[in-house]
Amino acid sequence: MRYGTGPEVLREVTFTLKPGSFHFLTGRSGAGKSSLLKLMYLAHRPSRGLVTLFDEDIATLPRKRLPFLRRRVGVVFQEFRLLNHLSAFDNVALPLRVAGVKESTIRKHVDELLAWTGLGDHMDARPPTLSGGQQQRVAIARSLISRPDLLLADEPTGNVDDALGVRLLYLFEELNRMGTTVVIATHSENLVSRFKKPILHLEDGVLIHHDRVEAGGGTGDPRDSRKPFGRGKRQ
């Protein structure tokens, strides 16, 4: 992958994510983590090579098919990308409303998820009135609400303290246990060491794939892995 006529920011990167897997994506700033995520959530197509997502070749896929694939991918952006004129509740509810989910179901799931992320008292607040950490939690809740097949998170704990960061990782783990494939880009050595997941490590645009045995989750109190939303049928 390259931007314009500049040098390749990713090269000779080859890997496969098994459905239902959980990986950390690591590497120093500028190593190419965000660029790799952009390829995976279909913001860009590869300059050369092949990207296959859900058995579809991204390089040759007609543009009209891209929105259908994007709906299967949840993304947590570093810059949040919240709609400032909507409340926290409405920002999180938006993907379900676009999908035509009943309002009663939306209310139940959004209430539960915002309460779990510690925003139960801020449901009616608009993003400009929230702190950076609170906005990040709204963005995370929005990415999770429709239970995507693939969740990509770019530094999702960068604006929260360590305790909340661990709690959010339990949330990602719970979604993973329900079948979602998860990739989290992070600089946090604490999270990487605490949650024994395979690592995809980038160095100067080249991927070094460190596989390690998954230990079935974090080493903290399993009681903290409370259900963020019901286990009913996926919407």
Q: Which residue is listed with tokens 């079935």?
A: 216
DSSP state at residue 130 = S
Element (H, E) at 22: strand 22-26
Classify residue 109: in a domain, yes or no. no
CATH number of 171's domain = 3.40.50.300
Is there a contact between 36 and 10 (Cβ–Cβ < 8 Å)? yes
CA dist., res. 126 & res. 41, Å (int): 26
Instruction: Give strand pairing partners of 185.
Output: 25, 154
Residue 212 is predicted with a pLDDT of 59
Q: What range does the domain containing 156 cover?
A: 22-81+148-224
The answer to whether residue 137 is domain-embedded is: no
What pairing do the DSSP bridges indicate for beta strands 73-76 and 206-210? unpaired
The answer to the question of residue 207 being in a domain is: yes
Answer yes or no: is 53 within a domain: yes
Cβ(139)–Cβ(76) under 8 Å?
A: yes
Residues forming a β-bridge with 210:
199
Tell whether 183 is covered by a domain. yes
Nearest to 152 by CA among 77, 82, 81: 77
Number of domains in the chain: 1
Does some domain include residue 101? no
pTM of the model: 0.81
What type of residue sits at position 107?
R
pLDDT score of 230: 45
Walking along the chain (235 residues) 10 residues at a time, the average pLDDT comes out as 91 92 93 93 89 89 87 88 96 93 95 90 96 89 91 86 84 90 91 90 88 47 41 38
185 within a domain of the structure (yes/no): yes
Task: Answer yes or no: is 55 within a domain.
Answer: yes
pLDDT of residue 232: 39
